[in-house]
Structure 1
Amino acid sequence: MATPHVRKGDTRHRIQDVALSLFAEQGYEKTSLREIAEHLDVTKAALYYHFKTKEDILISIVDDLARPVDELIDWAEGQPRTLATKQEILRRYSETLWGAAELFRFMQENQATVRELSIGETFKSKIQALGELLKEPEYSMTDQVRCITALFSMHAGMFAMQSIEGDPDDKRAAILEVAQGLIADAHRDAHRGQTDTP
């Protein structure tokens, strides 16, 4: 198993780092609080001081890493609904995704657990909010699908690219280009024949 990246100093963050690494590597169900404590070289009592359950740890991780998504949604809601805004939403979301790659790897590999826990609904509501900011009521069904697919192509791309050789920044740029292309196609189709510029 890969050695988890652990932040120094803040015990709460160290617990989150170790727990998330273990959850991603061996599964949420197979990881115990005792094992997390052992990897941190602390007692279970010390762990309990910060978190009472594994779900408490996971919820805290999602809350911390989801904060940039909330900030993105707040920002986007105050912007004009132009193609440029939508492509900027995707660019910023790309940064958030890659900054929380370990969390999304865990969610991808533990989908049944995620659905059962409260984090599943939390994540779903954020994706729905982003989707609403990307599509428009007047878009055709095909173009609405393009907008939603743009988001999910970024998730899928993160995992698909793990098996492809290449520079991580180039991979991220390629995934973003595909997602932004889908949004551009939807915008173009919806405004075909109009003089409105993006």
Structure 2
Amino acid sequence: MATPHHARRSDTRSRIQDVALKLFAEQGYEKTSLREIAERLDVTKAALYYHFKTKEDLLLSISEDLSAPVDELIAWAQGQPRTLATKQEVLRRYSDALWGATDLFRFFQENQATVRDLAIGESFRERITALSELLKEPDSSMTAQVRSLTALFAMHAGMHATQNVEGDPEEKRAAVLEVALDLLAQADADLVTN
């Protein structure tokens, strides 16, 4: 009978994470209290403390859960040959992860100063650095390296820029990915010609 209780507990944990992330994104991390999260969930503060001792613990758990696909992607890519096809697959999978965590992305965008000072800011930077290293070739021209790195950041910028644009979310995602893949192909073409 331990499994149903565990499933129920992890469901509560997920609900807490979802509500907290929405509140963090809506009103900012600093302005959101654990009491407010508990009220929104209609649970006691003690019930919330059972799962998370601090606001930062809560935010860290959200970030870790939503970043797990990126960690898996990095581990996978590090074991692959450094080909254009591998790099394209990195961008495709990163696109899936990014668009699968839109609330977290929105939170990062709107709370940059806070994120910079917290542990999640450092782990986010480490993931971006690892992805950047997988996409660029150190012995390529500066232009090719900039294109490779810009492909990654084009996904962030494109996602941010299309948030308030009318249109089908899948169409937006495809367009952003296409731009990133174009930059990567241009970087690869620079490699071949040099």
- TM-score range relative to shorter protein: over 0.9
Query: Could you list the per-position Cα deviations for residues 76-115 of structure 1 after superposition, in whole angstroms to 9, with x for gaps in the alignment?
Result: 0111111111011000000000000000000000000000
How big is the shift at 1:165? 1.8
- Kindly indicate whether residue 56 of structure 2 is the aligned counterpart of residue 55 of structure 1: yes
Matches within 5 A, 1:1-198: 10-192=11-193
CA RMSD of aligned residues (A): 1.4
| Amino acid aligned to 2:61 | S
Moved over 3 A (4+): none
Once residues 59 and 174 of structure 2 are traced to their aligned partners in structure 1, the CA distance between those partners, rounded to angstroms, is 29
Partner of 1:4: none
- How high is the sequence identity, in percent, across the aligned residues? 73
Q: Distance in 2 between matches of 1:131 and 1:99?
A: 20
1:172-192, Cα deviation, whole Å (9 max, x unpaired): 000000001111000001111
Q: What CA distance in whole angstroms lies between the structure 2 residues aligned with 1:162 and 1:63?
A: 23
Alpha-carbon distance in structure 1 between the residues aligned to 2:167 and 2:141: 36
Deviations 1:117-176 (A, max 9, x none): 000000000000000000111111111111111111101111101222211111100000
2: CA distance between counterparts of 1:145 and 1:170? 26
* Distance of 1:35 and 1:166 partners within structure 2: 33
TM-score by length of structure 1 reads: 0.92
Gaps of 5+ in 2: 1-8
In the alignment, structure 1 segments of 5+ residues that lack a partner are: 1-7, 194-198
Alignment partners' CA distance in 2, 1:15 and 1:110: 19
Structure (1/2) with the larger helix percentage:
2
Q: Counterpart amino acid of 1:21?
A: K
TM (norm. structure 2) is 0.93
Letter matched to residue 176 of structure 1:
L
AA of the residue aligned to 1:121: E
| Residues 191 and 167 of structure 1: CA distance in aligned 2, closer, same or farther (over 3 Å) | same
Displacement of 1:9 in angstroms is 7.1
